[in-house]
Amino acid sequence: MDNEKLTSLRNQILNLTKEYFEEKIDQEPAFVPHISNIPVTGKVLGSEDIVNLVDSSLDAWLTAGRFSDMFEERVRKYLGVRHCLFVNSGSSANLLAISALKILYEVKDGSEVITSAVNFPTTMNPIIQNNLKPILVDIEPQNYNINPQLIEEQINEKTVGIVLAHALGNPFHVNEVVKIAKKYNLFLMEDSCDAFGSTFENNFVGTFGDVATLSFYPAHHITTGEGGAVLTNNTKLKKIIESLRDWGRDCYCKPGKDNTCKKRFDWQLGGLPHGYDHKYIYSHIGYNLKATDMQAAIGLAQLDKLDLFIKKRKENFNYLYERFSEFKDFDLPKWYEHSEPSWFGFPLTISSNSTIKRLDLLKHYDSNKIGTRLLFGGNVALQPAYEQVDLGDPSNYPKSNEVANKSFWLGVYPGLTQEMLDFMVDSTKEFLNSQ
């Protein structure tokens, strides 16, 4: 079969894929209040995403390849960072980031890392998995991020770094945190998994720290199915992250490539004999956390829509903010003057003067098919997973306790329609009027 015939067949497959998916979308049922589900978040896919997916699968390469390279480059350029490494999940990205920081800065086991008491396990766990001790700091109410005024009192000679997520896409006070990190010579890791496109003083979050992470899980701003990325401007750190991602290899050849270093059989490292194949020399105890080319192909199509997705998230957030302002039972979210969040969700806290119960409200939403989520792990010092980890007395974090008991969030993702948002508001009004 000649190349012309192959190209023709490929184009037929892709054109049919586009036609199929667009027909499938056209046949999706319309929203019906009380019957249709309103997801709290989710993926927004078009025919171009699926065409890219099929296109990459026809290469039959399967592992990281040309689409992965293009995806990394697009993300890197979008955010303005020097290095982007595509991995199989945001959780893996966090693990790689903290593991690499520990190696680069020769951090000893038992060293302390500052983090927020309102946290997600995938931000917390890599600290513990690297034999470091998380030191919790309480949050600012209605902002849901660490209170920067409380950080310095937790710093001592054992403190080596700060690891923080931008809660629900709402940037923590980056300037204050960076200032503290520099003052005490601490590393800073930004978990930006919920915050792709958020800015602080017109600079993207994920560009302030030593390293940052993104997630491309279907719930996030763009999706690759599973997937994530590690971002850094530090070339030494990038090389360590790359090695840890790829089994811990000393070799940095791309999949399917050999002898990039031009001395494949001319190395002598460790106790190995001279000339030992560089592809099988391991400089770190690593993992296999690469993503596939098919995931990257979807990501490339999603990146074309990222700005539109961000715009829609902001519009949905602003609409809910305006509508919920009429209710006196909720404390509305706050954000810093110099920040512009790319919102992951619409967080609410039941006001101290309200008599309503969160559980009753959430059950009401659920009965109306309206998705809700709690603020991830709430006060993580209360979580059973960390009973054997010394996180201090949970009562030391009163604002985080408030989140654990009174906070939740509603969706703002681009797949939500005006009709869905209005139904969310109307259902809330119905519940409040019944109390």
CA-based max dimension of the chain: 79
Count CB atoms within 10 A of the CB of residue 243: 21
CA atoms within 13 A on the CB side of 9: 7
The tokens for 173 are 């006070």
Beta strand extents in 98-186 (DSSP E only): 112-116, 133-137, 159-165
Over its C-alpha atoms, the chain yields an Rg (Å, rounded) of: 23
Count of residues in the chain: 435
Using an 8 Å Cβ cutoff, are 217 and 223 in contact? yes
User: How many angstroms separate the CA atoms of 215 and 87, rounded?
Assistant: 9
Task: Read off the DSSP letter of residue 381.
Answer: G
Using an 8 Å Cβ cutoff, are 72 and 80 in contact? no
User: How many angstroms separate the CA atoms of 233 and 235, rounded?
Assistant: 6
User: How many angstroms separate the CA atoms of 172 and 140, rounded?
Assistant: 10
Residues tagged active-site: 220
User: 329: helix, coil or strand?
Assistant: coil
Q: Which candidate, 104, 54, 52, places its Cα nearest to that of 243?
A: 104
